[in-house]
Chain A
Amino acid sequence: MIDRHILSVTVRDRPGVLVRIAGLFARRGFNIESLSVAQSFQPGISRTTFVVSGEDATIEQVEKQLQKLIDVIKVVDHTKSKYVDRELMLIKVQVDTAEDRVEIRQIAQDFRARIVDVAREALVFEVTGDEGKLTAFIDQMQVFGIVELIRTGRIALPRSAADPKPGAKQARAA
């Protein structure tokens, strides 16, 4: 069955590691729909989130192959259990009239989108949420005119009950 999977891959922060991971997907014909990479809370360790669609069995094979990479520490397929996911979007919306401005701001408020830049002809909003929310916001703004838009790609964490193993606590500074 073809499904969308959110894979969290914890890696050692080494040059080349992303290329290797991307290579594993590419070799099996997967398109990476979104990718986000950033430092984790441990030095030298990064956490990456891949969104890919594919046959469940093939994804499982990719997971195992990922696990084999020396610089990959952990692979989690969030879609196998309960998870929370978020994405951040910056969106610049065209403002033609004063009425539009009021209406846009009203919609933004409903979506809890933050205004991060204000100009006479455009507003830039910061929106976070799951995919559905971002898509809905984009739909709403379409009528006013979207000038530019960028999304970070999804990030995800398992819900607490699904991942009972807590990270080591760091001693508090005295």
Chain B
Amino acid sequence: MKGAQVVLKALERQGAEVIFGHPGGAIMPVYDALYDEKLRHVLVRHEQAGAHAADAYYRASGRVGVVFATSGPGATNLVTGLATAQMDSSAVVAVTGNVPLPLIGTDAFQEADVYGITGPITKHNYLVKEVNDIPRIVAEAFYIASSGRPGPVLIDVPKDIQLAEFTGSFEVEVDLPGYKPTVVGHAGQIKRAAKAIRGARKPIMMVGGGGQTAFEEVNTFAEKTGIPVITTLMGIGTYPAGVPQSLGMPGMHGTVTANRAITHCDLIVGAGLRFDDRVTGKISRFAPNAEVVHIDIDPAEISKLVRAHVPVVGDLRDVLPRLTAELGRLDIDEWWETLEEWKGRYPERFKLDKPLVSQEVIQMFREATGGDCVVTTEVGQHQMFAARLFPTNRPRTWITSGGLGTMGFGLPAAIGASFARPGEPVVCIAGDGSVQMNIQELATIYRHQLPIIIAICNNGMLGMVRQWQEMFHAQRYSEVYLADSNPDFARLAEAYGIDGFNIFDRETAAELIPEVLARGKPAVMNFVVYESEKVFPMIPAGAGVDEMIIGDQEPEEADLATKEVKVG
């Protein structure tokens, strides 16, 4: 058996079922071996899309996503995808071909220092130097990628290794003396955390991406204690947005209630989040009165940005139930009165003063699906609108590039999610700018007839950048105008064999959305929307959470043309 086959067999033994990838010279032996294997391979049209698809495959299923690419340009195309997965703690194993070992370092054709390039953007990486090491390295890669705080791992396999005769064994042991994730929380710390929570009068819980694996535990904790719950952008789906106990999303474009609660609370239970700067705003103004209980599996996140008074390192699935057991219903009725008042004053609302706005389109999707679908997003205003108006009800169904903010993520992510959850409807909320960054994947969607709806909020603008220019750059709209050269998205879809719709008004939108959803077929729905919509509230970059600009979310701004909506 040759190294190339060993790679595939080893992946199979780790439970890999679907591989996203793109072939090329240096990985041809692997693709040749694939010809005889039952492993499913999905041919993407760009390696970046392959990496995003593998990333979303993990996020949607909890099973490690796998991506293949060739050396040099194939591998460098993975870079954005790996960095995205690293920032959002997503378990991906990337296998790249490389030039034969003796040529490494000689500037051979299609050679790049992939091991060097990907070091800082992976949890770990390998350059295989010995064919018999492959089973061990693949086993380690899967273990590292999926355990502790998950992340991407890259395995670079020189071509001569792929062609070398294997004489080793598949029975391998993973022995990593430097890698022992702490899963079980410290009993003393849990007791201290419980004591602090019991003593709080104005507590909140903030759940991040780590909560995606601990839906039950988060919900049981919230139910028993009655604590108000805030879900970060990465935590959407870990707690149902429609429940009265939910305060929505915090941070730069978070809800008024969530941000006010942060400013006024006396305790934060931070669960599986890293207090990213888009959540905290200016650190010195973040939760000035709060004691912080920080539960996370990654000790390096504790007190990195926000000082934790009670750190608990461990897996939420271990820590939360033990913490719940220590607690009863919290005595926080007064706090709830205040929160209810804010919630009542600041429901989600938007103006309907133009023929069509992004927010109502997104709201229509939420109504049509009830939030029981997979949502992926691109990056921009539409992403923030979706986070607020289209949160999903279940874990692993809200898939967005949070940490890196990668335009071009949403469309290939929809592909990965669709393979992870076959048959389930997937809605990709996209912008006209972002969607063009991996638009070539319409071919992949067509090829596999995936039930993905790409909903483009087409404002003819790089809207988020435009908003910043309007607010902070004296309305100097530099290089954000797309409308004069956007393609006809419906015809573009049709060119790929996918149903395409250009929609200009709310009546047509309301009629078509449920209808297209019901078809269970790929579709591109291009909604031509108002160009100057803005995302509010907004905390300007570098400002404090308490310095939020409420904008058109202020009830005084409301007029007859405003629609108030209940999320969930």
Contacts and interface: CB of A to CB of B under 8 A. Distances in A.
Contacts of A1: none
Closest 4 CB pairs of A and B: A64-B300, A73-B178, A70-B124, A70-B179
B123 interface: yes
Interface in B298-316: 298-300, 304
A27 interface: yes
A73 B299 contact: no
Nearest to B177: A73
Given A16-B119, A70-B144, A64 B178 contact: no
B120 A70 contact: no
B127 A70 contact: no
B335 interface: no
A20 interface: yes
Q: How large is the interface on B (under 10, 10 to 19, 20 to 34, 35 or more residues)?
A: 10 to 19
B496 interface: no
Contacts of A130: none
Interface string B272-310: 000000000000000000000000001110001000000
A73 B177 CA distance: 6
A12 B300 contact: no
A23 B119 contact: yes
B115 A27 contact: no
Interface of B: 115-116, 119-120, 123-125, 127, 144, 176-179, 298-300, 304
9 contacts: A12-B177, A16-B119, A16-B127, A67-B300, A70-B123, A70-B124, A70-B176, A70-B179, A73-B177
Nearest to A24: B120
A68 interface: yes
A167 interface: no
A19 interface: yes
B116 A19 contact: yes
Nearest to B148: A68
B300 A71 contact: no
Contacts of A140: none
Interface of A: 11-12, 15-16, 19-20, 23, 27, 61, 64-65, 67-74
B120 A71 contact: no
Contacts of B304: 61, 64
Given A70-B144, A70-B179, A64 B124 contact: no
A46 to B, nearest CB: 12
Given A12-B177, A19-B116, A70-B123, 11 more contacts: A11-B178, A12-B178, A16-B116, A16-B119, A23-B120, A64-B299, A70-B176, A71-B178, A72-B178, A73-B177, A73-B178
A23 B123 CA distance: 14
Contacts of A15: 127
A15 B101 CA distance: 14
Contact of A68 (B115, B119, B120, B300): B300
A68 B125 CA distance: 13
B177 A19 contact: no
Contacts of B119: 16, 19-20, 23
B294 to A, nearest CB: 13
A70 B178 contact: yes
A74 B561 CA distance: 62
A20 B178 CA distance: 14
Contacts of A27: 120
Contacts of B179: 70
Contact of B300 (A23, A61, A73): A61
A101 B109 CA distance: 60
A70 B298 CA distance: 13
Nearest to B301: A64
A74 B180 CA distance: 11
Nearest to A62: B300
Given A16-B115, A61-B300, A69 B127 contact: no
B300 A65 contact: yes
